[in-house]
Amino acid sequence: MSQENKALFIIFGGTGDLAKRKLYPSLFRLFRKGMINKRFAVIGTARREWTNDYFRDVVIESIESLEPSAEEIAAFTSHFYYQSHNVNDTEEYKVLGELANQLDETYKLEGNRLFYLAMAPRFFGTISKHIKSEKIMTETGFSRLIIEKPFGTDYETAKQLNDEIAAVFNEDQIFRIDHYLGKEMIQNISAVRFGNNIFESLWNHQYIDNVQITLAEDLGVEERGGYYDQSGALKDMVQNHILQVVALLAMEPPTIFSEEAIRTEKINALKSIRVYTEDEVNQNFVRGQYAHGKLSGKEFVSYQEEPGVEENSQTETFVAGKLMIDNFRWAGVPFYIRTGKRLTEKGTRINIVFKSTPINVFREASDITTNLPENILTIYIQPTEGFSLSLNGKEIGDGFNIDPVKLDYRHSQENLDNSPEAYEKLILDCLKGDATNFTHWDEVANSWKIVDVVRQTWDKEEADIPTYSAASMGPKCAFDLLEKDNRHWIWHPDEWYKMHGFLKE
């Protein structure tokens, strides 16, 4: 039997794309499962002059793909209310507070309030200040704040933003969403590591040669050109998603699987990542921007031709880097990361590359240099979810030729269809007060310190940014980054397309 949670959701930016695409469908899924039922209410606020009925029609449209029954629609949307609101107008917070108190009484919510800031970060401080001054926070139940990335544009702006919010909310009331942390297989990283001694006993520099993390997108910037041109891949993906994955892979085992213990170890892992000098940035980080490209007969325009992008923009759409973690467990083990738009395939995967056996006993007597293929543990995060482990076996037939085999498990489509969406899981965690899969300020701060040096180094460069063909796997310098270490990227989907003539060199 699922436990019903009671709360008032106040969504600032309730008319926006995030609310319609993610928040309302996630709330409906929680409603359908009984996680919220009779004792909840939602206030959507934004500048637009909407009525409750129009707002509810928008909510109905947002959940159409979930095929709700007429009874579900009526029961669910009756909990939704709209309040036109200017976030800079103190008087309008008083009206919002009155509606909140009225709904609290109507639905017996016991003062539990969840404030979701689905707006630009520049408004976070103003909204937080008014929530306190106009007493929209309650003293009887919980008051929790959910905020979205980007959290600042560098360490200094992030700190200023955090100080404004922290003047109102305690750290344990602030839930910074990184939707990657809600993905099933990201959460499975801990299960793979700490639930299997076969891996955890080998999870160190003695047995692991390198770690590779790829977050590849096959789409371009789409309608986000204006936003993206001010951000770029480094801030959009590395500062948050990728460094969070690195922290989960690199952290020490927690003493107990609790929010506080996990957070402590993630922070320690991020603090151990080497902050590079400018010279080290130039040696260990590369970037690129997609140019024209063609895949399977479909042509793609260059980044600079996308709507909203400045002509001759030097914003990076691709980043690859080598991170070093200065602690005993990971001494000398490079963590290679890469992310980019308009790559060959959409996919997020982690490759743990284990060291080869010290001596290949199957080699020819005259060839003492041949190593066996590496054992590789792959964690597939999206669009497919699962694991694979490559092992060396004997090729069928005479002799003792080695033939790598892959032990492969992927979740079934039925499991994927029935698994909770990331936002659904994160909203439920917030209702329960569990911040394990959210980002603590110390994690944000350390991530910015790592990334800021890279950004500042690139900003000083005068040469044009390297380009890569759309639908390839990035610029040549990303491959050179590993080749100079005598290594290579494990995942290279472009090779299949080239082999079959769908992608030209």
Exposed / middle / buried, residue 127 (Cβ in 10 Å: 0-12, 13-18, 19+): buried
What's the maximum distance between 2 C-alpha atoms anywhere in the chain?
Answer: 86
In 383-419, the DSSP E strands lie at 386-394, 402-410
CB contact at 8 A, 231 and 310: no
Task: Give CA–CA dist 93/109, Å, rounded.
Answer: 20
Active-site position among 79, 85, 241, 411: 241
Enumerate residues 6+ apart whose C-beta is below 8 A from 361: none
Q: What SS3 state is found at 252?
A: coil
Count CB atoms within 10 A of the CB of residue 332.
10
| DSSP structural state of residue 373 | P
Task: Give CA–CA dist 421/35, Å, rounded.
Answer: 14
Task: Give CA–CA dist 308/443, Å, rounded.
Answer: 32
| DSSP structural state of residue 439 | B
CB contact at 8 A, 457 and 316: no
Q: Which residue in the block uniquely carries the two structure tokens 């991170």?
A: 323
Q: What sign does the CA torsion over 291, 293, 299, 300 have?
A: negative
Q: What SS3 state is found at 471?
A: coil
Q: What radius of gyration, in Å, describes the C-alpha atoms of the chain?
A: 25
Q: How far is CA 464 from the centre of its chain?
A: 29
Tokens of 373: 């293929």
500 is catalytic: no
Residue type present at position 195: G
Nearest Cα neighbor of 492 from 287, 372, 351 is 351
Give the per-residue SS3 of 259-293. HHHHHHHHHHHHHHECCCCHHHHHHHEEEEEEECE
In 411-465, the DSSP E strands lie at none
Exposed / middle / buried, residue 370 (Cβ in 10 Å: 0-12, 13-18, 19+): exposed
Task: Give CA–CA dist 321/134, Å, rounded.
Answer: 47
CB contact at 8 A, 468 and 475: yes
Active centre residues (catalytic): 241
